[in-house]
């Protein structure tokens, strides 16, 4: 029974990255809270929503929000909005652990990084925002995956600095929703509501 359960869970996890499904979630990147030599706070939040256009391939929208504050070096605010594409390796020979899937992700859009230090001119870069890197997802349930992602990010545009490039390490989760199942549940509930309304209407007429 244990072997059968493991096989079912693995198959279910694979089913969540099939054509027609949705993925929604967020990653937290570069979290750092300093307590020595002056207070500092650094974090990036990257929510995303994707749709599987075919098995193992998802495309969608991505938002980036980041803050980097340190007492002695000012405040840096970063942002971005754009599209991403993700490809999951479907071959089981790439699985190191059960219920894991390696993937590659790339994104392109508009973004910027703006730094302000007290007593100095602001350092700004705003324009084309690009990113690419590998990641791994571990399915703790058939519909929820924890993930880690390493990414190289490049912003090219206008401002006091023409380019900004950086590495980010992200950790987060994605919820995988089978749209066919969701649509079937919605239709079933709608039919029940209509049936109850019709019964109440018939009772009122009597």
Angle among Cα 116, 32, 73 to the nearest 5 degrees reads: 25
**78: three-class secondary structure by DSSP:** strand
In a domain, 184, yes or no: no
- Examine residue 198 and state whether it is found in any structural domain, yes or no: no
Range of the domain at 68: 2-178
Domain presence at residue 149:
yes
pTM score, whole prediction? 0.74
pLDDT of residue 88: 95
Q: Are residues 166 and 131 in contact, defined by beta-carbon separation less than 8 angstroms? A: no
- On whether residue 204 sits in a domain, the answer given is no
User: CB within 8 A of 13, min separation 6: which ones?
Assistant: 99, 101, 139, 142, 145
> Residue 185 falls within a domain, yes or no?
no
pLDDT given at position 200: 76
Residue 91 lies in a domain: yes
Phi-psi category of residue 56: left, alpha or beta, with phi > 0 → left and psi -120 to 50 → alpha: left
Q: CA 101, CA 90: separation in Å to the nearest integer?
A: 7
186 domain residue, yes or no: no
What are the residues facing 46 on neighbouring strands?
A: 27
Cα–Cα distance, 39 to 58 (Å, whole number)? 40
The total domain count for the chain is 1
pLDDT one digit per residue (tens) for the chain, 206 residues: 333 333 434 444 566 888 889 999 999 877 655 555 556 678 889 999 999 999 999 999 999 998 888 777 788 899 999 999 999 997 776 677 788 999 999 999 999 988 888 777 888 889 999 999 999 999 999 889 999 999 999 999 888 888 888 888 899 999 998 877 656 766 787 788 888 887 777 666 66
Give the pLDDT confidence score for residue 205 in this predicted structure.
Answer: 64
Looking up residue 38, the CATH number of its domain turns out to be 2.40.160.20
What is the structure's pLDDT at 103? Answer: 96
For residue 63, being part of any structural domain is answered with yes
| Residue 3 confidence (pLDDT) | 36
pLDDT, position 47: 95
- In angstroms and rounded to an integer, the radius of gyration of the C-alpha atoms of the chain is 23
Ramachandran class of 144: left when φ > 0, alpha when ψ lies in -120 to 50, beta otherwise: beta
């Amino acid at each position: 029974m244990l072997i059968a359960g493991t096989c079912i869970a693995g198959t279910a996890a694979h089913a969540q990255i099939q054509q027609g499904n949705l993925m929604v979630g967020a990653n937290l990147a570069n979290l750092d809270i300093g307590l020595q030599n002056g207070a500092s706070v650094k974090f990036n939040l990257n929510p995303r929503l994707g749709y599987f256009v075919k098995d193992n391939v998802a495309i969608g929208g991505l938002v980036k929000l980041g803050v980097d504050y340190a007492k002695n070096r000012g405040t840096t605010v970063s942002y971005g909005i754009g599209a991403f594409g993700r490809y999951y390796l479907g071959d089981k020979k790439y699985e190191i652990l059960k219920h894991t899937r390696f993937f590659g992700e790339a994104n392109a859009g508009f973004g910027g990084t703006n730094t302000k230090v007290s007593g100095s001119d602001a350092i700004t870069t705003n324009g084309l925002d690009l990113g690419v890197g590998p990641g791994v997802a571990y399915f703790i349930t058939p519909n929820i995956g924890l993930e880690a992602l390493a990414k190289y990010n490049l912003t090219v545009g206008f401002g006091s600095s023409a380019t900004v490039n950086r590495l980010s390490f992200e950790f987060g989760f994605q919820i995988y929703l089978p749209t066919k199942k969701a649509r079937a549940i919605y239709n079933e509930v709608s039919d029940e509501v209509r049936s109850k309304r019709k019964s109440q209407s018939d009772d009122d007429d009597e």
